[in-house]
Amino acid sequence: MTDNPNAFATDPAGTLLPLGGIAAGLPGERAWARRTKALAPGVPLHPVIPPVLAARAATASPAAPQAL
């Protein structure tokens, strides 16, 4: 990776760094961090949602899971 625009003309073609250099992060890096965080502890639900889910689960055959 480089900040030199002439790198595109090389063989093989180079890649330009984002504005701010490598410290600014790579494309998609923030999305991967959010995804990892959401998969680890889960995504917080709005307080209104758990009672609605519990009511729906009561009408279904499996038991509703307990809150963590």
Tens of pLDDT, residues 6-34: 766 766 666 666 666 666 666 678 888 88
Give the pLDDT of residue 59. 83
68, part of any domain: no
For residue 33 the two structure tokens come to 């961090």
Residue 34: inside a domain: yes
The answer to whether residue 67 sits within a structural domain is no
Domain that includes residue 21, residue range: 5-59
Residue 54 maps to a domain: yes
| pTM of the full structure | 0.35
Q: Which amino acid is at 39?
A: L
Handedness of CA 67, 35, 62, 47 (dihedral sign): positive
Establish if 65 belongs to a structural domain.
no
User: Are the beta carbons of 16 and 7 closer than 8 angstroms?
Assistant: yes
Number of domain units in the chain = 1
Helix locations, the chain, DSSP H: 29-39, 49-59
